Structure 1
Amino acid sequence: MAQPLRPPSAGRVVAHLGLFVLGAVVGVAGTLVQPAWFPGGLLLALAGEAGLVLGAARVMRSRAGGVVAAAGWLLVVILLTASRPEGDFLFAASAGSYLFLLGGIAVAVICATLGGRRQPDGDPARLGK
């Protein structure tokens, strides 16, 4: 019989908030690095995001950790794509910027999916037997 869901502990909520902020920081850093040394900067920015999302999912032992970190990254990157009335922008209309946006979303989905899965404690054998 399935156990009812419990609310998350205070430590887990704080950890998720920290991962969200860390995702935002990685998003800002990736935004600044990706146009600097094309294509090396783009690959470095995507590798940093992949490491964050996969690491967050593994540390939190659930996909939710990866999703929270990816959400922080995505929110900041989307907010930084909007141009300002003064004409300032961080993303030029180039292939590298589009690869960073779309590739970052794809990397986040892949890494969050590969992240930690909940398994019951006990024998590592197949659960169906």
Structure 2
Amino acid sequence: MKSAERSSMLAQPLHRPSLGRAAAYLGLFVLGVVVGIAGALVQSGWFPGGLLLALAGEAGLCLGGARAAGSRGGAVAPAGGWMIAVILLTASRPEGDFVFAAESGSYLFLLGGMAVAVICATLAQGRQPDGDAVRLGK
């Protein structure tokens, strides 16, 4: 067996991302922003069902993005869009308007959404090597 065949994926050089993959990650990021805004509006309207619906929507988008992209980046892109949208919505405006009230449901949405994003990015499958040479015992 050649030493190049035995090298791990970590030792291999990074490949340039294709334009299609970059567009897919950008699309997932934008979908994360949309899900964050929709979840912020729904979570307080139908408490506790709206909160569960908003968190399930984020989890579905992150896991679906990871599966579609075939990498953890597919879960991180919508999670990043979700977090940016939600953080921008927490700021109050000069007119006194705000999206999140100071109640337990809002805090559960913010902290639970961040926990869901981390869990989905952790559970998403990373790249797996191909071929018989990578199987144990062969």
TM class by shorter-chain length? over 0.9
SS in 1 for 2:23: helix
1:8 equivalent in alignment to 2:56: no
RMSD: 1.7
Letter in 2 for 1:116: Q
**Structure having the higher Rg:** 2
Which among 98, 101, 105 is matched to residue 110 of structure 2?
101
Give the equivalent residue in structure 1 for 2:129: 120
User: Percentage identity across aligned positions?
Assistant: 74
Give the equivalent residue in structure 2 for 1:23: 32
The alignment's TM-score, normalised by the length of structure 2, stands at 0.88
TM-superposed CA distance for 1:124, in Å, is: 9.8
SS in 1 for 2:106: helix
Contact conserved, 1:60 with 1:116, CA < 8 A, in 2?
A: no
Which among 50, 66, 70 is matched to residue 75 of structure 2?
66
Structure 1 residue runs of 5 or longer lacking an equivalent are none
Equivalenced residue count is 129
**Which digits, 9 at most, give the CA deviation of each residue in 1:71-110, with x for residues without a partner?**
0000000000000111000000000000000000000100
The alignment's TM-score, normalised by the length of structure 1, stands at 0.94
**Which digits, 9 at most, give the CA deviation of each residue in 1:5-46, with x for residues without a partner?**
111000000000000000000000000100011000000000
Mark the CA change 1:85 to 1:15 in structure 2 (over 3 Å): closer, same or farther.
same
Letter in 1 for 2:98: F
Letter in 1 for 2:104: A
SS in 2 for 1:116: coil
